[in-house]
Amino acid sequence: MIKNEIISLIKSKRARVGVVGLGYVGLPLATAFAAKGLKATGFEVDAAKAEQINAGNSYIGDVSTQQLRECVESGRLRATTDFDNLKECDAIIICVPTPLRKTKEPDVSFILAAAEEIKKRLRRGQLVILESTTYPGTTDEVLLTMLAETGLQLDEDFLLAFSPERVDPGNPDFQTHNIPKVVGGVTDDSTETAAFLYAQIVNEVHSVSSARVAETAKLLENTFRAVNIGMANEMARLCYALNIDTWEVIRAAATKPFGFMAFYPGPGIGGHCIPLDPHYLSWKARQHGFDSRFISLAEEVNSRMPDHVVQLVSDGLNDERKAMNGARVLLLGVAYKSNIDDVRESPALSIIDRLRSKGCEVSYHDPFVRELRFDDTHTESSGAALCSIELSDEQIKESDCVVIVTNHSQIDYHRIVNLARLVVDTRNALNGDLRRASSARIIRL
Ligand SMILES: NC(=O)c1ccc[n+]([C@@H]2O[C@H](COP(=O)([O-])OP(=O)(O)OC[C@H]3O[C@@H](n4cnc5c(N)ncnc54)[C@H](O)[C@@H]3O)[C@@H](O)[C@H]2O)c1
Protein backbone atom coordinates (compact mmCIF):
# COMPACT_ATOMS: atom_id res chain seq x y z
CA MET A 1 0.00 0.00 0.00
CA ILE A 2 1.24 3.43 -0.91
CA LYS A 3 0.33 4.74 2.55
CA ASN A 4 2.61 2.23 4.28
CA GLU A 5 5.43 2.88 1.83
CA ILE A 6 5.44 6.61 2.49
CA ILE A 7 5.02 6.20 6.26
CA SER A 8 7.95 3.80 6.35
CA LEU A 9 10.14 6.31 4.46
CA ILE A 10 9.16 9.01 6.94
CA LYS A 11 9.81 6.74 9.93
CA SER A 12 13.27 5.85 8.74
CA LYS A 13 13.95 9.53 7.89
CA ARG A 14 14.59 8.57 4.28
CA ALA A 15 11.66 10.62 3.02
CA ARG A 16 12.38 13.84 1.17
CA VAL A 17 9.85 16.61 1.73
CA GLY A 18 9.41 19.23 -0.99
CA VAL A 19 7.99 22.60 -0.01
CA VAL A 20 6.74 24.74 -2.90
CA GLY A 21 6.88 28.45 -2.05
CA LEU A 22 9.38 29.61 0.57
CA GLY A 23 7.69 32.60 2.18
CA TYR A 24 6.33 33.25 5.68
CA VAL A 25 4.73 29.79 5.68
CA GLY A 26 7.00 27.63 3.51
CA LEU A 27 10.42 28.53 4.90
CA PRO A 28 9.60 27.82 8.58
CA LEU A 29 7.94 24.57 7.48
CA ALA A 30 10.87 23.34 5.35
CA THR A 31 13.27 24.29 8.16
CA ALA A 32 11.15 22.43 10.72
CA PHE A 33 11.33 19.20 8.69
CA ALA A 34 15.07 19.57 8.17
CA ALA A 35 15.61 20.29 11.87
CA LYS A 36 13.81 17.03 12.71
CA GLY A 37 16.19 15.05 10.51
CA LEU A 38 14.17 14.72 7.31
CA LYS A 39 15.54 15.89 4.00
CA ALA A 40 13.81 19.00 2.72
CA THR A 41 13.92 20.72 -0.66
CA GLY A 42 12.36 24.13 -1.10
CA PHE A 43 11.04 25.12 -4.53
CA GLU A 44 10.93 28.80 -5.38
CA VAL A 45 10.18 30.88 -8.45
CA ASP A 46 12.25 33.68 -6.94
CA ALA A 47 15.87 32.74 -7.62
CA ALA A 48 17.17 35.36 -5.17
CA LYS A 49 15.31 33.66 -2.30
CA ALA A 50 16.66 30.23 -3.27
CA GLU A 51 20.18 31.67 -3.37
CA GLN A 52 19.77 33.28 0.05
CA ILE A 53 18.64 30.00 1.57
CA ASN A 54 21.47 28.01 0.03
CA ALA A 55 23.87 30.63 1.40
CA GLY A 56 22.32 30.06 4.85
CA ASN A 57 20.71 33.50 5.14
CA SER A 58 17.18 33.74 6.44
CA TYR A 59 14.86 36.48 5.17
CA ILE A 60 11.94 35.39 7.38
CA GLY A 61 11.83 36.65 10.96
CA ASP A 62 10.56 33.37 12.44
CA VAL A 63 13.56 31.42 11.11
CA SER A 64 16.89 32.45 12.56
CA THR A 65 19.91 32.53 10.27
CA GLN A 66 21.68 30.20 12.70
CA GLN A 67 18.85 27.65 12.54
CA LEU A 68 18.73 27.86 8.75
CA ARG A 69 22.51 27.60 8.43
CA GLU A 70 22.60 24.44 10.56
CA CYS A 71 20.00 22.81 8.30
CA VAL A 72 21.76 23.88 5.09
CA GLU A 73 25.25 22.93 6.29
CA SER A 74 24.06 19.50 7.43
CA GLY A 75 22.79 18.94 3.87
CA ARG A 76 19.21 18.46 5.05
CA LEU A 77 17.83 21.65 3.51
CA ARG A 78 18.35 23.15 0.11
CA ALA A 79 16.38 25.41 -2.16
CA THR A 80 16.02 25.30 -5.91
CA THR A 81 14.20 26.88 -8.82
CA ASP A 82 14.44 23.64 -10.77
CA PHE A 83 11.11 21.88 -10.44
CA ASP A 84 12.52 18.67 -11.93
CA ASN A 85 13.76 17.98 -8.40
CA LEU A 86 10.11 17.42 -7.43
CA LYS A 87 10.55 13.88 -8.74
CA GLU A 88 12.86 13.11 -5.78
CA CYS A 89 10.28 14.18 -3.21
CA ASP A 90 8.06 11.69 -1.38
CA ALA A 91 5.85 14.44 0.04
CA ILE A 92 5.19 17.78 -1.64
CA ILE A 93 3.61 20.62 0.30
CA ILE A 94 2.26 23.66 -1.54
CA CYS A 95 2.65 26.98 0.33
CA VAL A 96 2.13 29.56 -2.40
CA PRO A 97 0.18 32.83 -2.07
CA THR A 98 -3.59 32.95 -2.44
CA PRO A 99 -4.40 36.63 -3.01
CA LEU A 100 -7.64 38.20 -4.20
CA ARG A 101 -8.31 39.63 -7.63
CA LYS A 102 -9.28 43.30 -7.85
CA THR A 103 -12.88 42.07 -7.95
CA LYS A 104 -12.26 40.43 -4.51
CA GLU A 105 -12.64 37.00 -6.04
CA PRO A 106 -10.15 34.25 -5.12
CA ASP A 107 -6.99 34.17 -7.20
CA VAL A 108 -5.81 30.56 -7.12
CA SER A 109 -3.46 31.03 -10.08
CA PHE A 110 -0.37 30.43 -7.86
CA ILE A 111 -1.84 27.12 -6.69
CA LEU A 112 -2.60 26.18 -10.29
CA ALA A 113 0.94 27.07 -11.40
CA ALA A 114 2.47 25.00 -8.58
CA ALA A 115 0.09 22.10 -9.27
CA GLU A 116 0.99 22.20 -12.96
CA GLU A 117 4.68 21.75 -12.09
CA ILE A 118 3.80 18.84 -9.79
CA LYS A 119 1.47 17.26 -12.34
CA LYS A 120 4.24 17.22 -14.98
CA ARG A 121 6.43 15.17 -12.63
CA LEU A 122 3.95 13.24 -10.49
CA ARG A 123 5.14 9.69 -9.92
CA ARG A 124 3.89 6.69 -7.98
CA GLY A 125 4.57 7.04 -4.25
CA GLN A 126 4.00 10.76 -3.70
CA LEU A 127 1.89 12.52 -1.11
CA VAL A 128 0.73 15.99 -2.18
CA ILE A 129 -0.53 18.43 0.46
CA LEU A 130 -1.99 21.88 -0.07
CA GLU A 131 -1.40 24.37 2.77
CA SER A 132 -2.34 27.62 1.04
CA THR A 133 -5.56 29.06 2.43
CA THR A 134 -8.31 28.56 -0.12
CA TYR A 135 -12.02 28.00 -0.67
CA PRO A 136 -13.67 24.68 0.24
CA GLY A 137 -13.35 22.25 -2.63
CA THR A 138 -10.02 23.43 -4.05
CA THR A 139 -8.23 20.22 -3.10
CA ASP A 140 -10.76 17.71 -4.36
CA GLU A 141 -12.31 19.73 -7.20
CA VAL A 142 -9.24 21.42 -8.63
CA LEU A 143 -6.08 19.64 -7.49
CA LEU A 144 -7.42 16.11 -7.68
CA THR A 145 -8.81 16.72 -11.18
CA MET A 146 -5.43 18.00 -12.35
CA LEU A 147 -3.39 15.19 -10.77
CA ALA A 148 -5.81 12.50 -11.99
CA GLU A 149 -5.19 13.67 -15.56
CA THR A 150 -1.76 12.01 -15.31
CA GLY A 151 -3.50 8.63 -15.33
CA LEU A 152 -2.10 7.86 -11.86
CA GLN A 153 -4.70 6.63 -9.37
CA LEU A 154 -5.51 8.23 -6.03
CA ASP A 155 -4.66 5.88 -3.14
CA GLU A 156 -3.00 3.37 -5.43
CA ASP A 157 -0.34 5.72 -6.80
CA PHE A 158 -0.53 9.02 -4.96
CA LEU A 159 -2.20 10.63 -1.94
CA LEU A 160 -3.71 14.08 -1.59
CA ALA A 161 -4.60 16.18 1.46
CA PHE A 162 -5.22 19.69 2.71
CA SER A 163 -3.68 21.02 5.90
CA PRO A 164 -4.16 24.69 6.70
CA GLU A 165 -1.24 26.75 7.89
CA ARG A 166 -1.81 28.66 11.14
CA VAL A 167 1.57 30.32 11.57
CA ASP A 168 1.46 33.66 13.36
CA PRO A 169 4.59 35.53 12.25
CA GLY A 170 6.37 37.33 15.07
CA ASN A 171 4.54 35.42 17.83
CA PRO A 172 7.25 34.19 20.23
CA ASP A 173 4.88 31.85 22.10
CA PHE A 174 3.52 29.89 19.16
CA GLN A 175 5.72 28.48 16.43
CA THR A 176 5.26 25.52 14.06
CA HIS A 177 5.88 22.83 16.70
CA ASN A 178 3.28 23.97 19.24
CA ILE A 179 0.45 25.00 16.93
CA PRO A 180 -1.88 22.00 16.47
CA LYS A 181 -2.19 21.01 12.82
CA VAL A 182 -5.53 20.20 11.19
CA VAL A 183 -5.29 17.59 8.43
CA GLY A 184 -8.00 16.49 6.02
CA GLY A 185 -7.26 14.07 3.20
CA VAL A 186 -9.24 13.42 0.06
CA THR A 187 -9.15 9.76 1.19
CA ASP A 188 -8.54 8.14 4.57
CA ASP A 189 -5.09 6.93 3.50
CA SER A 190 -4.25 10.49 2.50
CA THR A 191 -5.35 11.81 5.90
CA GLU A 192 -3.40 9.19 7.84
CA THR A 193 -0.20 9.64 5.85
CA ALA A 194 -0.30 13.44 5.97
CA ALA A 195 -1.05 13.30 9.72
CA PHE A 196 1.93 10.99 10.22
CA LEU A 197 4.17 13.37 8.30
CA TYR A 198 3.12 16.41 10.35
CA ALA A 199 3.45 14.47 13.61
CA GLN A 200 7.21 14.58 12.96
CA ILE A 201 7.26 18.34 13.49
CA VAL A 202 4.18 19.31 15.54
CA ASN A 203 3.04 18.21 18.98
CA GLU A 204 -0.59 17.71 18.03
CA VAL A 205 -2.33 16.71 14.80
CA HIS A 206 -6.10 16.92 14.51
CA SER A 207 -7.41 14.78 11.65
CA VAL A 208 -10.78 15.55 10.06
CA SER A 209 -12.93 13.56 7.68
CA SER A 210 -12.20 15.44 4.46
CA ALA A 211 -10.09 18.10 2.79
CA ARG A 212 -13.21 20.30 2.59
CA VAL A 213 -13.61 20.27 6.37
CA ALA A 214 -9.97 21.26 6.80
CA GLU A 215 -10.30 24.03 4.18
CA THR A 216 -13.45 25.36 5.84
CA ALA A 217 -11.99 25.15 9.37
CA LYS A 218 -9.20 27.52 8.33
CA LEU A 219 -11.68 29.96 6.83
CA LEU A 220 -13.83 29.79 9.96
CA GLU A 221 -10.80 30.65 12.13
CA ASN A 222 -9.95 33.73 10.10
CA THR A 223 -13.53 34.81 9.54
CA PHE A 224 -14.08 34.55 13.30
CA ARG A 225 -11.22 36.99 13.80
CA ALA A 226 -12.37 39.36 11.07
CA VAL A 227 -15.92 39.46 12.45
CA ASN A 228 -14.87 39.92 16.07
CA ILE A 229 -12.31 42.59 15.20
CA GLY A 230 -15.10 44.26 13.23
CA MET A 231 -17.25 44.19 16.36
CA ALA A 232 -14.40 45.69 18.43
CA ASN A 233 -13.87 48.38 15.80
CA GLU A 234 -17.54 49.25 15.81
CA MET A 235 -17.43 49.49 19.61
CA ALA A 236 -14.42 51.82 19.35
CA ARG A 237 -16.27 54.18 17.03
CA LEU A 238 -19.38 53.99 19.16
CA CYS A 239 -17.38 54.72 22.33
CA TYR A 240 -15.60 57.62 20.62
CA ALA A 241 -18.98 59.14 19.77
CA LEU A 242 -20.12 58.61 23.39
CA ASN A 243 -16.80 59.80 24.85
CA ILE A 244 -16.22 56.50 26.66
CA ASP A 245 -12.82 54.78 26.94
CA THR A 246 -13.13 51.68 24.69
CA TRP A 247 -10.05 50.02 26.14
CA GLU A 248 -11.30 50.32 29.68
CA VAL A 249 -14.64 48.89 28.59
CA ILE A 250 -12.93 45.87 26.97
CA ARG A 251 -10.66 45.38 29.99
CA ALA A 252 -13.68 45.33 32.27
CA ALA A 253 -15.69 42.95 30.07
CA ALA A 254 -12.70 40.62 29.83
CA THR A 255 -12.78 39.97 33.57
CA LYS A 256 -15.76 37.70 32.91
CA PRO A 257 -14.27 34.21 33.12
CA PHE A 258 -16.70 32.62 30.65
CA GLY A 259 -18.65 33.61 27.56
CA PHE A 260 -16.45 36.53 26.56
CA MET A 261 -13.27 36.68 24.52
CA ALA A 262 -11.44 39.98 24.19
CA PHE A 263 -10.82 41.39 20.72
CA TYR A 264 -9.31 44.80 20.25
CA PRO A 265 -9.93 47.64 17.84
CA GLY A 266 -7.20 49.00 15.62
CA PRO A 267 -6.47 51.18 12.60
CA GLY A 268 -7.77 48.49 10.24
CA ILE A 269 -6.83 44.93 9.42
CA GLY A 270 -3.80 43.91 7.39
CA GLY A 271 -1.66 40.98 6.36
CA HIS A 272 -2.51 38.33 3.86
CA CYS A 273 -4.98 36.40 5.97
CA ILE A 274 -7.67 38.26 7.89
CA PRO A 275 -8.57 40.83 5.19
CA LEU A 276 -8.53 38.23 2.40
CA ASP A 277 -9.55 34.80 3.61
CA PRO A 278 -13.19 35.55 4.47
CA HIS A 279 -13.68 36.52 0.81
CA TYR A 280 -12.68 32.99 -0.19
CA LEU A 281 -15.54 31.70 1.92
CA SER A 282 -18.13 34.26 0.82
CA TRP A 283 -17.20 33.73 -2.84
CA LYS A 284 -17.76 29.99 -2.53
CA ALA A 285 -20.99 30.61 -0.61
CA ARG A 286 -22.24 32.85 -3.44
CA GLN A 287 -21.64 30.03 -5.94
CA HIS A 288 -24.26 28.15 -3.93
CA GLY A 289 -26.69 31.07 -3.69
CA PHE A 290 -25.78 31.86 -0.08
CA ASP A 291 -25.12 35.41 1.05
CA SER A 292 -22.69 35.54 4.03
CA ARG A 293 -23.73 38.80 5.65
CA PHE A 294 -21.41 38.74 8.68
CA ILE A 295 -18.41 38.66 6.34
CA SER A 296 -19.54 41.66 4.30
CA LEU A 297 -20.48 43.63 7.39
CA ALA A 298 -17.12 42.96 9.06
CA GLU A 299 -15.31 44.00 5.90
CA GLU A 300 -17.33 47.19 5.69
CA VAL A 301 -16.61 48.14 9.32
CA ASN A 302 -12.93 47.15 9.24
CA SER A 303 -12.20 48.90 5.96
CA ARG A 304 -13.56 52.19 7.35
CA MET A 305 -11.05 52.27 10.21
CA PRO A 306 -8.33 54.17 8.30
CA ASP A 307 -10.92 56.92 7.69
CA HIS A 308 -11.69 56.98 11.41
CA VAL A 309 -7.97 57.32 12.24
CA VAL A 310 -7.72 60.26 9.84
CA GLN A 311 -10.78 61.75 11.53
CA LEU A 312 -9.03 61.47 14.92
CA VAL A 313 -5.97 63.27 13.51
CA SER A 314 -8.21 65.95 12.05
CA ASP A 315 -10.11 66.34 15.36
CA GLY A 316 -6.84 66.62 17.31
CA LEU A 317 -5.41 69.24 14.96
CA ASN A 318 -8.70 71.11 14.90
CA ASP A 319 -8.65 71.45 18.69
CA GLU A 320 -5.30 73.20 18.27
CA ARG A 321 -6.72 75.43 15.50
CA LYS A 322 -4.61 73.69 12.91
CA ALA A 323 -5.58 72.53 9.45
CA MET A 324 -4.82 69.13 7.99
CA ASN A 325 -3.40 70.88 4.95
CA GLY A 326 0.30 71.35 5.63
CA ALA A 327 0.26 69.51 8.98
CA ARG A 328 3.34 67.36 9.64
CA VAL A 329 2.13 63.92 10.58
CA LEU A 330 4.54 61.23 11.77
CA LEU A 331 3.36 57.62 11.73
CA LEU A 332 4.93 55.22 14.18
CA GLY A 333 4.87 51.75 12.67
CA VAL A 334 3.61 50.84 9.23
CA ALA A 335 3.75 47.02 9.40
CA TYR A 336 0.28 45.52 9.71
CA LYS A 337 1.03 44.23 13.22
CA SER A 338 3.66 44.59 15.90
CA ASN A 339 7.22 43.31 15.71
CA ILE A 340 7.16 42.09 12.11
CA ASP A 341 8.17 43.59 8.76
CA ASP A 342 5.07 42.65 6.74
CA VAL A 343 3.24 45.60 5.15
CA ARG A 344 0.88 43.59 2.96
CA GLU A 345 -2.60 45.15 3.17
CA SER A 346 -1.35 47.26 6.07
CA PRO A 347 -3.86 49.96 7.09
CA ALA A 348 -0.87 52.34 7.27
CA LEU A 349 -0.91 52.48 3.46
CA SER A 350 -4.52 53.68 3.37
CA ILE A 351 -3.94 56.09 6.27
CA ILE A 352 -0.92 57.66 4.54
CA ASP A 353 -2.85 57.93 1.32
CA ARG A 354 -5.82 59.61 2.98
CA LEU A 355 -3.61 61.99 5.00
CA ARG A 356 -1.75 62.99 1.85
CA SER A 357 -4.99 63.63 0.03
CA LYS A 358 -5.82 66.16 2.77
CA GLY A 359 -2.48 67.90 2.21
CA CYS A 360 -0.61 66.49 5.22
CA GLU A 361 3.16 66.10 5.05
CA VAL A 362 3.52 62.46 6.05
CA SER A 363 6.63 60.72 7.33
CA TYR A 364 7.01 57.44 9.17
CA HIS A 365 9.33 55.54 11.45
CA ASP A 366 9.31 51.74 11.53
CA PRO A 367 12.32 49.78 12.81
CA PHE A 368 11.25 46.80 10.67
CA VAL A 369 10.28 48.55 7.41
CA ARG A 370 12.98 50.62 5.75
CA GLU A 371 10.98 51.60 2.70
CA LEU A 372 7.30 51.68 1.76
CA ARG A 373 6.18 51.28 -1.81
CA PHE A 374 2.71 52.13 -2.99
CA ASP A 375 0.87 50.29 -5.69
CA ASP A 376 -1.66 51.89 -7.98
CA THR A 377 -4.59 51.28 -5.62
CA HIS A 378 -3.20 54.04 -3.39
CA THR A 379 -3.87 56.83 -5.79
CA GLU A 380 -2.45 59.78 -3.87
CA SER A 381 0.81 57.99 -3.22
CA SER A 382 1.06 55.93 -6.38
CA GLY A 383 4.60 55.35 -7.61
CA ALA A 384 6.39 57.24 -4.84
CA ALA A 385 8.36 55.33 -2.20
CA LEU A 386 8.62 56.60 1.35
CA CYS A 387 11.58 55.78 3.61
CA SER A 388 11.54 55.27 7.35
CA ILE A 389 13.04 58.31 9.12
CA GLU A 390 15.25 58.25 12.16
CA LEU A 391 13.23 58.86 15.31
CA SER A 392 15.15 61.91 16.51
CA ASP A 393 13.92 64.23 19.26
CA GLU A 394 13.56 66.98 16.64
CA GLN A 395 11.39 64.85 14.38
CA ILE A 396 9.04 64.05 17.23
CA LYS A 397 8.92 67.64 18.50
CA GLU A 398 8.40 69.15 15.07
CA SER A 399 5.49 66.86 14.18
CA ASP A 400 2.04 68.36 14.53
CA CYS A 401 0.70 64.92 15.20
CA VAL A 402 2.27 61.51 15.92
CA VAL A 403 0.05 58.54 15.02
CA ILE A 404 0.81 55.16 16.56
CA VAL A 405 -0.33 52.79 13.83
CA THR A 406 1.69 49.73 14.89
CA ASN A 407 2.74 49.11 18.48
CA HIS A 408 6.24 47.73 17.90
CA SER A 409 7.72 46.92 21.29
CA GLN A 410 11.13 48.44 20.64
CA ILE A 411 9.76 51.98 20.34
CA ASP A 412 10.34 54.09 23.45
CA TYR A 413 6.81 55.42 24.03
CA HIS A 414 7.99 57.33 27.09
CA ARG A 415 10.08 59.52 24.83
CA ILE A 416 7.15 59.97 22.45
CA VAL A 417 4.72 61.24 25.10
CA ASN A 418 7.40 63.53 26.52
CA LEU A 419 8.34 65.14 23.23
CA ALA A 420 5.25 65.06 21.04
CA ARG A 421 2.49 67.66 21.08
CA LEU A 422 -0.37 65.50 19.91
CA VAL A 423 -0.49 61.69 19.76
CA VAL A 424 -3.21 59.58 18.17
CA ASP A 425 -2.87 56.11 19.66
CA THR A 426 -4.70 53.48 17.59
CA ARG A 427 -3.30 50.48 19.52
CA ASN A 428 -3.48 51.45 23.17
CA ALA A 429 0.32 51.48 23.17
CA LEU A 430 0.26 54.21 25.81
CA ASN A 431 -0.77 52.62 29.06
CA GLY A 432 -2.15 54.52 32.04
CA ASP A 433 1.24 55.48 33.53
CA LEU A 434 2.51 56.79 30.24
CA ARG A 435 -0.64 58.80 29.70
CA ARG A 436 -0.49 60.31 33.19
CA ALA A 437 3.18 61.27 32.71
CA SER A 438 2.51 62.69 29.27
CA SER A 439 2.94 66.29 28.28
CA ALA A 440 1.37 65.48 24.91
CA ARG A 441 -2.33 65.55 24.20
CA ILE A 442 -3.40 61.97 23.57
CA ILE A 443 -6.35 60.80 21.53
CA ARG A 444 -7.06 57.11 21.67
CA LEU A 445 -9.10 54.98 19.33
N1 LIG B 1 1.75 34.68 6.32
C2 LIG B 1 0.92 34.17 7.20
O3 LIG B 1 0.88 34.59 8.36
C4 LIG B 1 0.00 33.01 6.84
C5 LIG B 1 -0.62 32.32 7.89
C6 LIG B 1 -1.45 31.26 7.57
C7 LIG B 1 -1.69 30.93 6.24
N8 LIG B 1 -1.08 31.64 5.24
C9 LIG B 1 -1.35 31.22 3.87
O10 LIG B 1 -0.22 30.51 3.38
C11 LIG B 1 -0.03 30.75 1.98
C12 LIG B 1 1.36 31.31 1.74
O13 LIG B 1 1.47 32.55 2.40
P14 LIG B 1 2.85 33.26 2.71
O15 LIG B 1 2.54 34.35 3.67
O16 LIG B 1 3.90 32.27 3.03
O17 LIG B 1 3.18 33.89 1.28
P18 LIG B 1 4.56 34.54 0.82
O19 LIG B 1 4.21 35.50 -0.25
O20 LIG B 1 5.34 34.99 2.01
O21 LIG B 1 5.35 33.31 0.20
C22 LIG B 1 4.93 32.64 -0.93
C23 LIG B 1 6.18 32.25 -1.72
O24 LIG B 1 5.76 31.43 -2.82
C25 LIG B 1 6.57 31.76 -3.93
N26 LIG B 1 5.87 31.28 -5.11
C27 LIG B 1 4.85 31.85 -5.78
N28 LIG B 1 4.45 31.06 -6.78
C29 LIG B 1 5.23 29.97 -6.75
C30 LIG B 1 5.30 28.79 -7.52
N31 LIG B 1 4.46 28.56 -8.54
N32 LIG B 1 6.24 27.89 -7.22
C33 LIG B 1 7.11 28.09 -6.20
N34 LIG B 1 7.09 29.19 -5.41
C35 LIG B 1 6.15 30.11 -5.69
C36 LIG B 1 6.78 33.24 -3.82
O37 LIG B 1 7.92 33.66 -4.54
C38 LIG B 1 6.94 33.42 -2.31
O39 LIG B 1 8.29 33.34 -1.90
C40 LIG B 1 -1.15 31.69 1.58
O41 LIG B 1 -2.24 30.94 1.11
C42 LIG B 1 -1.54 32.36 2.89
O43 LIG B 1 -2.87 32.81 2.87
C44 LIG B 1 -0.21 32.66 5.52
Over residues 134-173, the pLDDT tens digits come to 999 999 999 999 999 999 999 999 999 999 999 888 888 9
Q: What angle do CA 389, 392, 393 make, to 5 degrees?
A: 145
Ligand 1 mean position, distance from CA 133 (Å): 9
Q: What angle do CA 77, 118, 180 make, to 5 degrees?
A: 60
Ligand 1 mean position, distance from CA 96 (Å): 4
Ligand 1 mean position, distance from CA 403 (Å): 30
pLDDT at residue number 437: 80
| Ligand 1 pocket mutation pick from 165, 337, 338 by most atoms within 8 angstroms of CB | 165
pLDDT surpasses 90 at 383: no
pLDDT at residue number 378: 52
Over residues 342-379, the pLDDT tens digits come to 999 999 999 999 999 999 999 999 999 999 988 655 55
pTM of this structure: 0.92
pLDDT at residue number 266: 97
pLDDT surpasses 60 at 404: yes
Contact assessment for residue 318 and residue 393, using Cβ atoms and an 8 Å cutoff = no
The one-letter amino acid code at 184 reads G
- Is residue 273 part of the annotated active site? The answer reads yes
Give the residue from 214, 169, 159 showing the smallest Cα distance to 189: 159
Using the atom order of ligand 1, give the atom closest to the CA of residue 26.
16
pLDDT at residue number 379: 58
Give the residues surrounding ligand 1 with Cβ less than 6 Å away.
20-26, 43-46, 49, 95-98, 110, 113-114, 132-133, 165-167, 169, 272-273
Among 89, 239, 273, 360, the active-site one is: 273
For the beta carbon of residue 415, count every other beta carbon within 10 angstroms.
12
Whose C-alpha lies nearest to ligand 1, atom 21?
A: 23
Ligand 1 mean position, distance from CA 411 (Å): 29
Q: Greater confidence, 104 or 254?
A: 254
Task: Tell me whether strands 371-372 and 386-387 are parallel, antiparallel or unpaired.
Answer: antiparallel
pLDDT at residue number 438: 84
